[in-house]
Structure 1
Amino acid sequence: MDRRSTCLGLLSLPLMLQRAWGAQDDGLAWLRRGGVVLVLRHARAPGTFDPPGFRLGDCSTQRNLSEEGRAQARQLGAYLKSQQLTPSRVRSSPWCRCVDTAELAFGSAERWPALGSPQGASDQVNAQAMVQLRQAVVDASKRPGQFEVWVTHMFVQSALVSGDTASGEGLVVGADDKGQPKILATFAVP
């Protein structure tokens, strides 16, 4: 292994350790404290990309949640409720698998195009979405005692904070002292 590979491996070590050693408890503590956003990846949906010719307004043309994914979304909402954690706001990518995840978990969600998959969008649209998302993290950080939930895609998680999760899992994100989004903890239903 060369020096660069070793350095890159060490950079990812904190996130790996966080996942291995009590990150769930840290995530719950951050949600209770507030001033954060739980950036969830939609629940399980078979496949990888939407079929050619999909349309946002037509769920029959998209990749959708499996029955396992629907159950996973319900379990996510039930778990947060059992922890007496209720988001102040739930926002979702307009893709059906994200909307369904949010609605099954939390009852309703505000569709927000900034959380949409960047695949197929122009660089300008993606850049504008990141500006909106970063500002929304800063805004959320000014509300102690409250947290938001955003249901989105792996690509959005990665673009926002250079991290991602498995389906139905999330990253607890806050703003650093320079107003940049950062991962504070990971979140998964035990």
Structure 2
Amino acid sequence: MRSSLPAPEPRASRRALLGAAAAGAALAAVHVRTWAAQDAAAEALLRQGGVVAAFRHSLAPGTFDPPGFRLDDCRTQRNLSEEGRAQARSVGRWFRQRQLRPDKVLSSPWCRCVDSATQAFGSPPEVWAALGSPHGRPETAGAQHLRELRAALSAASARSGSFEVWFTHMFVLSELAGVNTGSGEALILRAGPDGRAEVLARLVIP
């Protein structure tokens, strides 16, 4: 009589399992080396100065602000989560552990950017409208802000031995530097010969 039980699934050989584990470990090691190299490059550039560490604000779940939000009322905006606040504090620890002190800490007026800066560096930043989100604003205002950002980056790039930290939004960084960023990620920027932003390194602080 033929059995109705399903045939047992083939078992992976010990060699295959060990091979998969080794491959996973090798990939993890590559990621660690890559992160360490980026970390070291960012630190060296900040010590040298003449750069800006431009952060996208820390984790704030969602995409856009609710309709009718107001800049003077954080309750109407999309704000940092607990994970986002912890992420911002990690940014501050990274700088303190390396005794890296920014010459200026500037922030978008949006609460999630101000809170990221405050959680990281312990005091409210200098609020600067040019770092604000372009959404809900005329394109001409966005273009004017971009000109202001490039001018400020050029000025910071001319000051060797010091650096600035900016907290802003994904869309602002995309317009300024032409790349996408994750929540809490920084681009180490310097003004190129044409005045446009050059990305020298990326910094992701775990």
SS in 2 for 1:85: coil
Which residue identity lines up with residue 148 of structure 1 in the other structure? E
1:74 partner SS: helix
State the TM-score, normalizing by the size of structure 1.
Answer: 0.88
* Residue identity opposite 1:181 in structure 2: A
Q: Which residue of 2 aligns with 1:165?
A: 181
Deviation (angstroms), 1:97? 0.2
Instruction: Give 1:155's match in structure 2, choosing from 171, 186, 189.
Output: 171
**For the residues of structure 1 that align with 2:46 and 2:38, how far apart are their CA atoms?**
12
Q: Does the 8 Å CA contact 1:98/1:152 hold for their aligned counterparts?
A: yes
One-letter amino acid of the structure 2 residue matched with residue 144 of structure 1: S
Higher RCO (CA 8 Å, separation ≥ 6 residues): 1
| Structure 1 contact 39–170 (Cα < 8 Å) conserved | yes
**1:12 corresponds to:** none
- Is there any run of 5+ residues in structure 1 with no aligned partner, and where? 1-18
Q: CA deviation at 1:79?
A: 1.1
- Measured after TM superposition, the shift of residue 179 of structure 1 is 2.2
Task: Tell me, in whole angstroms, the C-alpha distance in 2 between the residues paired with 1:132 and 1:92.
Answer: 14
Are 2:135 and 1:104 aligned? no
Asked whether the 8 Å contact 1:164–1:171 carries over to 2, the reply is no
Once the two structures are TM-superposed, the CA of residue 176 in structure 1 deviates from its matched residue by 1.3
Shift of 1:43: 0.5
The correspondence for 2:57, drawn from 26, 38, 42, is 42
- What is the rounded CA distance, in whole Å, between the counterparts of 2:180 and 2:150 in structure 1? 16
Residues 114-170 of structure 1: per-residue CA shift (max 9 Å, x gap): 000001110110000000000001000111110100000000000001012111111
Greater gyration radius? 2
Deviation at 1:108, TM superposition (A): 2.3
1:176 to 162, 173, 192: 192
Structure 2 residues not aligned, in runs of 5+: 1-32
Q: 1:53 aligns with which of 68, 71, 74?
A: 68
Deviation at 1:94, TM superposition (A): 0.2
Stretch moving more, 178-187 or 138-147:
178-187
Count of matched residue positions in the alignment of Structure 1 and Structure 2: 173
Whether 1:136 and 2:152 are equivalent positions in the alignment is yes
Percent of aligned positions with the same letter in both sequences? Answer: 55
Provide TM-score, normalisation by structure 2: 0.81
Corresponding letter in the other structure for 2:115: D
1:91 equivalent in structure 2: 106
Superimposed CA distance per residue, residues 92-117 of structure 1 (whole angstroms, 9 cap, x where no aligned partner): 00000000000111122001000000
Moved more, 176-185 or 32-41: 176-185
